A and B are shown apart, each in its own frame.
Chain A
């Protein structure tokens, strides 16, 4: 499933999440601006609902892009 759809799904399922959501990025090579915006929304929603979002297997290029939009402090990384 493309990452944007995964993110959208995660956003929708956030209500039912119990404490932690893990998203696997290990097969994601690159994120586009839409994905970054989705992740901003996801981080905001997770913050409101006190859900921890864990990103697993994020490559360094994506990590840098997340850093530039100041999202890294809002996620946990594995």
Chain B
């Protein structure tokens, strides 16, 4: 407990403890109420408040000696009727909102016991307002009224309480401190059973609330600047300002304080103010008011003036004014200590400033705003939207009231559609937690029930795929005036380019661009781009393996979107739908891209991927976007009949890896599964045949189709950790991609089929299914086995047999890489593999240590991975 509460007597503490106990019990009982229960209670409370509005206003004026009875009565009515109009249809119990499309449900939970400080300026209206909010939200409130307003507050609370209990509210739901003191407040604010402090009052009370260590709504003083801009509707503005500033003798903290008036209308504005009952002070009178009304020690207006009439303030200062004077207007030439009246004045005295320009006007408004009014309220009168926008930009205020009165406007619901309130959040500028008009939602803990959602998936493939022998003839149907064939020198030598040329539409002008058979880099792309631009290509035929087709994809991207930043487009991402990089959209399809595959592995002819080698950084950048997908794919086996055996093996295993990884991917779908499974089946059946008998046309055709079909699967389901490992290992040791995949493959199947150390977060997966999907593949291949574990074992064994048939080395060691070199490389390899986006769809989230271990397993070689399952793996199989 703070020092200033230690002098509370035992009796006082017992009294306060009793209030909390009563409120706590009421709050607990209140949790059992339904929405209908609380709504049944709120309505009669509002009617009772309306009924008693004038009487309560009278009590407030009598007790506080502040303000205007009629205005206070109106405030009591706003606090009940307008607030009710806002809350009556609001759900505040249980489920309060439901967004079935997003699977989000908001559920309201009451806070419990709220300790609420209320001000002297708006005593009864604030109590009425908070009582209605509390019942609507099933909370209990202990009121701590201003010491000079506690009797009227207690009476307002009594009216509300008796009506509420009569209609079913729990006993003890409201209590009010008698003869409240600051130590009482401090004690209550820190009580363990008080869940929220809601302080509407002066600086001290608000600061104490925020210092209590409790969640707090602290709403304090302001200093409202008004910009009266030259385009404003002057008559309306003057009436609004007078209405607002004289309302309840200026006690509302949102009321106007300093009006900054454009030079062009300054004199006319002051004339109008004077015509409507304002007294325009001379410089001497202004100085006198500043000396009398502002305490030079604190720099704040003297409390004696608060809520008093203009003529009484004038009299108090020794000024002679007309008896009908309703407002004092004091011209000032600046803001700050040299101009004492530039502070908040909760009485009918308004300062005005003549501004020579918009710039000067805005600066003075900012100065006023920062002289005690940050976060609160500001007002602008203008018909110029740009001025209003600029004013809103530069002024720090929770409420920017436009072309209407500040005080009544800020209350909400009268001049605008803001939420009705008697508590103005001032944001961090005012040391508050909110800029809102405090309302029922601030009296609730809103729980978000988030249902599992499944993002829409996709299956996107090129528009046209032509396959089987002589599919290349389909080229004739595509008209072109200028076609660039992108290929490599070897394919030109062996006559493939001529085959393509013969099959192009007759009128086509053809240029052949040969590029090296290496992964494309910036230089190759740039040179290709120049060729495309020079020949004004309207068709690009990419004839080659993955490297050539990837190069053509990137050339087309740059051809159609020269501004595309390849480095940015290749930036890493976790989820393709949420990545930072933005690929060009709405670009013109200047050139049709026809991809003719001359290997049976990468499937680049249908994929949205392209790999670019970044020489400067010594790394591969993978570009991924469906805009990269070729427009037409030609899968014609005549282009692969001459593939050498090694290339047949490596690319064939790449195809198999695509199928296996897409099959167990967390993005796998029935659409991709059908392709993945078919590709796997074809690869197991025809790859050994194509390898042993390169001229077997059926085997070549089926493997060519398998590569394309696998690519359709992984274009949509993506790949997995096998590719991440292979990319890192291949780049470091210069090993062909397919071969690198082959070295990892059996180990990755074993790895994915065991219980993950870390599951991959994926809303698409309802359970861990990788091992089951491998078992399904084993069934499809007719490998036998009874249990899932046996089937997985047989799939691994079959994969290893296939690799042996293809004469692929059994281990990384067998490739002549020394253990010392490999040991040095493994830490970096693991990091590179981890940074590779390929594993983002792997069913099992790899740890760095696991990646390193997988590299070591590949180093030691196949046949060993399945020999001795680890403890974790054994556990996985035991659970099947």
Contact = CB atoms under 8 A, between A and B. Distances in A.
Interface of A: 30-37, 61-62, 64-66, 68-69
Contact of B31 (A32, A34, A37, A61): A61
Contact of A32 (B24, B29, B112): B29
Contacts of B25: 33, 36-37, 69
Contacts of B112: 68
B854 interface: no
Contacts of B26: 33
B170 A68 contact: no
A61 B29 CA distance: 9
B868 interface: no
A33 B29 contact: yes
Contacts of A34: 171
B32 A30 contact: yes
Nearest to A37: B25
Interface in B190-249: none
Nearest to A34: B171
Nearest to B29: A33
Contact of A68 (B22, B28, B171): B28
B27 interface: yes
B172 interface: yes
A34 B172 CA distance: 10
Contacts of B32: 30-31, 61-62, 64-65
Contacts of A36: 25, 28-29
Interface residues of B, number: 13
Interface string B76-112: 0000000000000000000000000000000000001
Which of the listed residues A30, A35, A61, A66 has the most CB atoms from chain B within 10 Å of its own CB?
A30
A29 B335 CA distance: 63
B31 A33 contact: no
B137 to A, nearest CB: 15
A69 B31 contact: no
A44 to B, nearest CB: 13
A18 B366 CA distance: 76
Contacts of B29: 30-33, 35-36, 65
Interface string B1-39: 000000000000000000000101111110110000000
A17 B26 CA distance: 30
B28 A69 contact: yes
A64 B449 CA distance: 19
Contacts of A69: 24-25, 28
Interface string B261-289: 00000000000000000000000000000
B589 to A, nearest CB: 61
A32 B170 contact: yes
A37 B26 CA distance: 10
A32 B28 contact: no
A15 to B, nearest CB: 26
A65 B28 contact: yes
List the 9 closest A-B pairs by CB distance, nearest first.
Answer: A68-B28, A65-B28, A33-B25, A61-B32, A30-B32, A69-B28, A33-B29, A36-B25, A33-B171
Contacts of A62: 32
Contacts of B27: 68
A68 B31 CA distance: 9
Interface in B124-171: 170-171
Which of the listed residues B29, B31, B112, B171 has the most CB atoms from chain A within 10 Å of its own CB?
B29
15 contacts: A31-B32, A33-B25, A33-B28, A33-B170, A36-B28, A37-B25, A64-B31, A64-B32, A65-B28, A65-B29, A68-B27, A68-B28, A68-B112, A69-B25, A69-B28
A29 B22 CA distance: 21
B196 to A, nearest CB: 15
A60 to B, nearest CB: 10
Nearest to B37: A30
B141 to A, nearest CB: 14
A64 to B, nearest CB: 6
Contacts of B31: 61, 64-65, 68
A30 B172 CA distance: 17
A8 B171 CA distance: 18
Contacts of A66: 28
Contacts of B171: 32-34
Contacts of A35: 29
Which of the listed residues A32, A61, A62, A66 has the most CB atoms from chain B within 10 Å of its own CB?
A32
B34 to A, nearest CB: 10
Contacts of A32: 29, 170-171
A36 B21 CA distance: 11
Nearest to A60: B32
Contacts of B22: 33
Contacts of B170: 32-33
B138 to A, nearest CB: 11
Nearest to A31: B29
Given A32-B171, A33-B171, 10 more contacts: A32-B29, A32-B170, A33-B25, A33-B172, A61-B32, A64-B32, A65-B31, A66-B28, A68-B28, A68-B31
A36 B22 CA distance: 10
Contacts of B28: 33, 36, 65-66, 68-69
B422 to A, nearest CB: 27
Contact of B24 (A31, A61, A64, A68): A68
A62 B33 CA distance: 11
A62 B22 CA distance: 17
Nearest to A65: B28
A67 B171 CA distance: 19
Nearest to B33: A30
A31 B25 CA distance: 10
Contacts of A65: 28-29, 31-32
A58 to B, nearest CB: 12
A29 to B, nearest CB: 8
A36 B23 CA distance: 12
A68 B171 CA distance: 16
A69 B172 CA distance: 14
A39 B315 CA distance: 62
Contacts of A61: 31-32
Interface in B169-183: 170-172
Interface in B294-329: none
Which of the listed residues A35, A61, A64, A69 has the most CB atoms from chain B within 10 Å of its own CB?
A69
